[in-house]
């Protein structure tokens, strides 16, 4: 098991438990980082005076001033490009894209510029930027407030992609992302901003404060990028997931009495291959779960990696439970979402082999 | 049309038929060229407003043409930078060197020493003269046609050639297409193949300088064709919104590969006029007039340094040569254009000016041109000792995997091992050059 794949949830050193939801944890990470490094600047649509449409940057402009936390024109290309230029100057920008669905106008700057700057200049110039963006569905966000475009970024050499699943991880991973000298796409699963999601949309959200993973230490701490975490441990099969789906598969396994290694990948690129191999070789079965559409989704890469590296340990074909290959629908959201039924059937299929 | 129900097709019959306007350049191959439609004002006719003038009070400058050097080869009017003769000779020297460099590298490509080259012939003033008006530590975000900046800033020519040859001396380790230089030491930003991306990045750099209370400014160069990219809009917008200390230089050389400037909107408005809509002070300058180029850039730099905001400069010029070594302009434009171009040649104009004021003569010019050619030739020979493209003397192949990230992640380590294995399979007797140049 990797060094950081620990559970149960951590406690603060002083023993005082401070419980935050994911929004508060992200806000805390930004606050802590800005306090430590005066080269960090935050910019994006509505992030300044207003504090962000999800409140992730609330209070930061007041605390650090409007030349360090400021609103931008509605131009994702401009936001990313300005961040790249600021990074070239020596700042450490943390731009926000209001929804991952709206990151596409900034793609040329991310793919052709931020991701390639270090390589093409032989490390003369770098882009130490962290692009924060709420992503994922399950909130009746329809086509343009629900997407999970992580596979697009996974395919780009030079970008790291990070997705937290708990408030504790959100803070530690975000601080690591900001301090990392490579460009990082930091996708925040907005469905679990306020509490983990079981996949049962008709049940009320349980707030984060009822879960140990909401214990967020004060001050500075980091969770290394590229290291997965065991959300639960079990011998029956390995489930690879990240973001919201970690909690959905946890709930389904609990309900069905399946004892699984649920590996919360936390970082998509570079993915923690050691933990994946360790778990799959132990269990012999692997289920991959993500919200994003199926074809050429990140699950395909995971499936290939597992098949290549664990083939002789596999007792069943690697299965994928994903969103369907359609744009994200509004009214039919819960028919689209890879929920308990789809996951449960996949579990039955794997475990019956 | 497909969406209109067939039965309703007659509904529009009493309205005039619409027609699509597709711009067409005035001259195609074989055509006689007449540039009399280009308005060339008298040199010195334009006033020089204060650097802090409000953008809305500068509309005339976005539509006019700032000129200093007249037909009489004398400097005229308030935009004359009044540079001392030594500085003028230095300027001429950098432009001549840039031209000599272009000639040699173009031939090098034809001789198979590299894959690709792009000249800036006819546009030397827009880089050399403009760059001379900046401080050495002002950050420049160039496109691929401002090699004159590197020459003006004293970047070692051998490094330029090493990069063009992708040889073992190439600081960019053979990763980049020729001419996509990068030099942090010379405040020269890494050139990207993706057009106009550098323009909003320059604005971001300038914003950062302002955030930190620095005194350095940024300048970026973009061709008129690339102003059509969305990034250019972002650059103008962010520059004006944050009053960024940046100069947006648009080199209007009339051509974007085979497309004339009309496809970037030149039929309706000047490129400088675009700045006006954003509330950016905008100047339109004779791009083949080295003195006007220098002084316009100086004006914009002064403005930026005074926190008075960004400036957009359109350098009105002409791309005298093909777009690149992969281009043949005789396929789309009249060969006469270059000779008929009403603003002449920047090197000749500065040379004639220096002769006119008694600070230069044809003999010295001939000697300087010869020395420039000899210097480039000598430097080329030195660079060739590091190898030329495809002759093996390039960087070790393992460097291909470095600098994707700060550290090699596991998957790149594995792929590097694969590459090593492939080399060992190909060279079972051991790698050539002791493995270094394989």
Q: Could you report the predicted ipTM of this complex, rounded to two decimals?
A: 0.95
What is the pLDDT, as a whole number, of residue A345?
98
User: d(Cα B329, Cα A344) in Å, to the nearest integer?
Assistant: 64
Q: Do B208 and A81 touch (CB under 8 A)?
A: no
Q: How far is B432 from chain A (nearest CA, A)?
A: 24
- Average pLDDT on A96-125 reads 98
Query: Tens-of-pLDDT digits for all 438 residues of chain B?
Result: 456 656 655 666 788 999 999 999 999 999 999 999 999 999 999 999 999 999 999 999 999 999 999 999 999 999 999 999 999 999 999 999 999 999 999 999 999 999 999 999 999 999 999 999 999 999 999 999 999 999 999 999 999 999 999 999 999 999 999 999 999 999 999 999 999 999 999 999 999 999 999 999 999 999 999 999 999 999 999 999 999 999 999 999 999 999 999 999 999 999 999 999 999 999 999 999 999 999 999 999 999 999 999 999 999 999 999 999 999 999 999 999 999 999 999 999 999 999 999 999 999 999 999 999 999 999 999 999 999 998 877 888 889 999 999 999 999 999 999 998 998 898 888 766 554 444
Q: Which of B89, B121, B88, B126 is nearest to B105 (CA)?
A: B121
B residues 83-142 near A, CB within 8 Å? 139, 141
| Residue B437: per-residue pLDDT | 46
Of B171, B180, B203, the CB nearest to A85: B203
The reported pLDDT for the residue numbered B4 is 62
pLDDT for position B2: 58
Is residue A227 within 8 angstroms of chain B, CB to CB? no
The answer to whether the Cβ–Cβ distance between B204 and A182 falls below 8 Å is no
Round to whole Å and give the CA distance between B68 and B14. Answer: 55
Option in A41, A112, A123 nearest B194 (CB): A112
CB hemisphere CA count around B261 (13 angstroms): 19
* Direct distance between the N- and C-terminal alpha carbons of chain B, in angstroms, rounded to an integer: 60
Residue by residue, DSSP assigns B313-329 as EEEE----S-SSTT--G
Does the distance separating the beta carbons of A105 and B204 come in below 8 Å? no
- Tell which B residues from 226 to 245 touch A, by Cβ distance under 8 Å: 230-231, 233-235, 237-238, 241
Question: Over 50: is that where the pLDDT of A3 sits?
Answer: no
Q: Is A254 helix (H, G, I), strand (E, B) or coil?
A: helix
Q: What's the rounded Cα separation, in Å, for the pair B150 and B160?
A: 9
A287/B434 Cα distance (integer angstroms): 47
**How many beta-carbon pairs under 8 angstroms link A with B?**
146
Q: Which residues of A touch B200 (CB under 8 A)?
A: 77-78, 81-82, 85, 109
Interface of A with B in 51-80 (CB under 8 A): 67-68, 72-73, 75, 77-78
Q: Do the chains contact at B410 and A73, CB–CB below 8 Å? A: no
Distance in Å, alpha carbon of B311 to nearest chain A alpha carbon: 17
Check CB contact under 8 Å for A123 and B403. Answer: yes
Interatomic CA distance for residues A160 and A268, integer angstroms: 7
The reply to whether A90 touches chain B by the CB within 8 Å rule is: yes
| B410 close to A (CB below 8 A) | yes
Q: What is the pLDDT of residue B433?
A: 58
Q: Which residues of A43-53 are buried (b: 16+ CB within 10 A; e: fewer)?
A: bbbbbbeebbe
* Residue-wise pLDDT tens digits, A243-289: 999 999 999 999 999 999 999 999 999 999 999 999 999 999 999 99
Q: Which of B379, B373, B389, B385 is nearest to B163 (CA)?
A: B389
Q: Does A85 touch chain B (CB under 8 A)?
A: yes
Closest CA to A216 of A179, A265, A175: A175
Q: Cβ–Cβ of B182/A160 closer than 8 Å?
A: no
The pair phi, psi for residue A290, each rounded to 5°, is -145, 155
Cα separation, A135 vs A244, in Å, equals 10
Q: What's the rounded Cα separation, in Å, for the pair A46 and A30?
A: 16
For A146-190, the pLDDT digits (tens) are: 999 999 999 999 999 999 999 999 999 999 999 999 999 999 999
Other CB atoms within 10 Å distance of the CB of residue B344: 16
C-alpha distance from residue A203 to each of A196, A200, A206, A257, B224 (Å): 12, 6, 9, 20, 58
Pick the residue of B140, B222, B234, B236 with the most A CBs within 10 A to test the interface with A by mutation: B234
3-state percent breakdown (helix, strand, coil) of chain B, nearest 5: 45, 10, 45
Which residue of chain B is at minimal alpha-carbon distance from A180?
A: B406
B56, B413, B416 from B419: Cα distances, Å: 60, 10, 5
- Are B207 and A117 in contact (CB < 8 Å)? no
Residues 6 or more apart whose CB falls under 8 angstroms from that of A61 comprise A47, A48, A49, A51, A68, A69, A70
Kindly give, in sequence order, each residue whose CB lies less than 8 Å from that of residue B228, ignoring residues fewer than 6 positions away: B263, B264, B265
Q: What is the pLDDT of residues A112-143, one digit of tens each?
A: 999 999 999 999 999 999 999 999 999 999 99
Q: Is A155 a catalytic residue?
A: no
Q: Which of A78, A129, A304 to mutate to test the interface with B (most CBs of B within 10 A)?
A: A78
Question: Residues in chain A, how many?
Answer: 353
For residue A126, the chain B residue with the least C-alpha distance is B406
Q: Which two tokens stand for residue B32?
A: 């006689």
Instruction: Establish how many alpha carbons lie within 13 A of residue B107's alpha carbon, considering only the half-sphere containing its beta carbon.
Output: 9
Residue of chain B whose Cα is closest to the Cα of A67 = B211
**DSSP letter string over A37-48?**
-TTEEEEETT-S
CB atoms within 10 A of CB A111: 18
Judged by CB atoms within 8 Å, which residues 263-292 of B form the interface with A?
Answer: none
Mark yes or no for CB contact A112/B197 under 8 Å: yes
Instruction: Name, in order, each residue with C-beta under 8 angstroms of B109's C-beta and a sequence gap of 6 or more.
Output: B115, B116, B117, B178, B325
Q: Which of A41, A85, A160 sits opposite B202 (nearest CB)?
A: A85
| List A145, A155, A220, A330, catalytic entry | A145
- Closest-CA distance, A341 to chain B, in angstroms, reads 35
All residues at 6 or more sequence positions from B78 whose CB lies less than 8 Å from its CB, including other chains: B44, B46, B47, B48
Using the Cβ of B248 and the Cβ atoms of chain A, whether some distance falls under 8 Å is answered with: no
* pLDDT reading at A4 higher than 50: no
Closest chain B CA to residue A95: B204
pTM of the predicted model over 0.90: yes
Whether B218 and B211 have beta carbons less than 8 Å apart is answered as: no
Residues 6+ apart with CB under 8 A from B205: A85, A86, A88, A89, B139, B141, B189, B218, B246
Q: Taking CB atoms and an 8 Å limit, are A120 and B192 in contact across chains?
A: yes
For residue B275, give both structure tokens.
């700045």
Q: Average of pLDDT values for A197-212?
A: 94
């Amino acid at each position: 098991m990797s060094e950081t794949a620990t559970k149960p949830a951590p406690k603060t050193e002083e023993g005082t438990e401070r419980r935050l939801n994911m929004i508060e944890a992200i806000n805390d990470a930004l606050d802590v980082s800005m306090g430590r490094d005066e080269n960090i600047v935050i910019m994006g649509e509505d992030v300044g005076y207003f504090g962000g449409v999800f409140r992730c940057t609330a209070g930061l402009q007041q605390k650090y001033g409007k030349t360090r936390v400021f609103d931008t024109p509605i131009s994702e290309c401009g936001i990313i490009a300005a961040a790249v230029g600021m990074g070239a100057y020596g700042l450490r920008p943390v731009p926000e894209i209001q929804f991952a669905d709206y990151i596409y106008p900034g793609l040329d700057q991310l793919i052709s510029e931020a991701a390639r700057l270090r390589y093409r200049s032989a490390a003369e110039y770098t882009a130490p930027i962290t692009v924060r963006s709420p992503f994922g569905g399950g909130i009746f966000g329809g086509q343009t407030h629900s997407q999970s475009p992580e596979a697009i970024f996974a395919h780009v050499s030079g970008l790291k992609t990070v997705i937290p699943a708990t408030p504790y991880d959100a803070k530690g991973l975000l601080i690591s992302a900001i301090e990392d000298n490579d460009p990082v796409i930091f996708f925040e699963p907005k469905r679990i901003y306020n509490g983990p999601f079981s996949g049962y949309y008709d049940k009320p959200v349980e707030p984060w404060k009822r879960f140990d993973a909401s214990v967020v230490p004060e001050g500075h701490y980091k969770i290394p990028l590229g290291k997965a975490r065991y959300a639960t441990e079990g011998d029956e099969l390995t489930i690879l997931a990240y973001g919201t789906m970690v909690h959905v598969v946890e709930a389904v396994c609990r309900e069905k009495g399946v004892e699984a290694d649920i590996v919360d990948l936390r970082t998509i690129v570079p993915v923690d291959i050691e933990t994946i191999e360790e778990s799959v070789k132990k269990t012999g079965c692997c289920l991959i779960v993500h919200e994003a559409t199926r074809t050429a989704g990140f699950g395909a890469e995971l499936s290939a990696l597992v098949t290549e590296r664990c083939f002789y340990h596999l007792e069943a074909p690697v299965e994928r439970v994903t969103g369907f290959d359609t744009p994200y629908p509004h009214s039919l959201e819960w028919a689209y979402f890879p929920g308990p039924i789809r996951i449960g059937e996949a579990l039955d299929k794997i475990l019956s082999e | 049309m497909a969406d209109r129900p067939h039965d309703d097709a007659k509904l529009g019959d009493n309205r005039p038929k619409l027609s699509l306007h597709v711009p067409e350049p005035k001259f195609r191959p074989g055509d006689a060229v007449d540039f009399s439609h280009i308005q060339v004002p008298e040199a010195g006719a334009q006033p020089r407003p204060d650097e802090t003038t409000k953008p809305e009070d500068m509309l005339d400058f976005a539509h006019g043409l700032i000129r200093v050097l007249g037909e009489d080869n004398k400097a005229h009017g308030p935009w004359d930078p009044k540079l001392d003769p030594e500085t003028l000779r230095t300027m001429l020297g950098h432009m001549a060197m840039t031209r000599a460099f272009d000639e040699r590298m173009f031939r090098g490509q034809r001789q198979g020493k590299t894959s690709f080259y792009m000249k800036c012939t006819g546009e030397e003033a827009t880089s050399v003269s403009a760059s001379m008006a900046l401080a050495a530590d002002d950050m420049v975000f160039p496109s691929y046609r401002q090699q004159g900046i590197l020459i003006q800033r004293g970047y070692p020519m051998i490094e330029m050639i090493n990069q063009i040859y992708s040889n073992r001396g190439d600081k960019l380790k053979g990763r980049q297409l020729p001419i996509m230089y990068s030099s942090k030491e010379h405040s020269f930003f890494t050139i990207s193949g993706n057009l106009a991306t550098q323009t909003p990045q320059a604005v971001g750099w300038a914003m950062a300088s302002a955030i930190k209370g620095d005194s350095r400014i940024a300048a970026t160069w973009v061709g008129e064709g690339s102003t059509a990219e969305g990034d250019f809009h972002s650059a103008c917008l962010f520059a004006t919104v944050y009053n960024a200390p940046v100069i947006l230089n648009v080199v209007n050389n009339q051509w974007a590969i085979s497309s004339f400037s009309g496809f970037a909107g030149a039929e309706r408005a000047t490129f400088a006029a675009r700045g006006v809509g954003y509330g950016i002070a905008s100047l339109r300058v004779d791009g083949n007039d080295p003195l006007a180029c220098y002084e316009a850039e100086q004006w914009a730099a002064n403005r930026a340094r005074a926190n008075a905001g960004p400036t957009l400069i359109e350098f009105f010029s002409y791309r005298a040569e093909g777009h690149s070594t992969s281009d043949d302009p005789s396929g789309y434009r009249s060969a006469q254009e270059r000779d008929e171009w009403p603003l002449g040649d920047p090197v000749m104009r500065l040379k004639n000016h220096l002769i006119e004021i008694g600070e230069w003569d044809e003999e010295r010019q001939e000697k300087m041109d010869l020395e420039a050619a000899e210097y480039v030739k000598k430097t080329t020979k030195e660079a060739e000792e590091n190898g030329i493209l495809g002759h093996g003397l390039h960087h070790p192949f393992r460097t291909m995997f470095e600098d994707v990230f700060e550290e090699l992640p596991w998957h790149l380590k594995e792929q590097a091992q694969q590459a090593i294995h492939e080399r060992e399979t190909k060279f079972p007797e051991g790698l050539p050059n002791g493995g270094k140049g394989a």
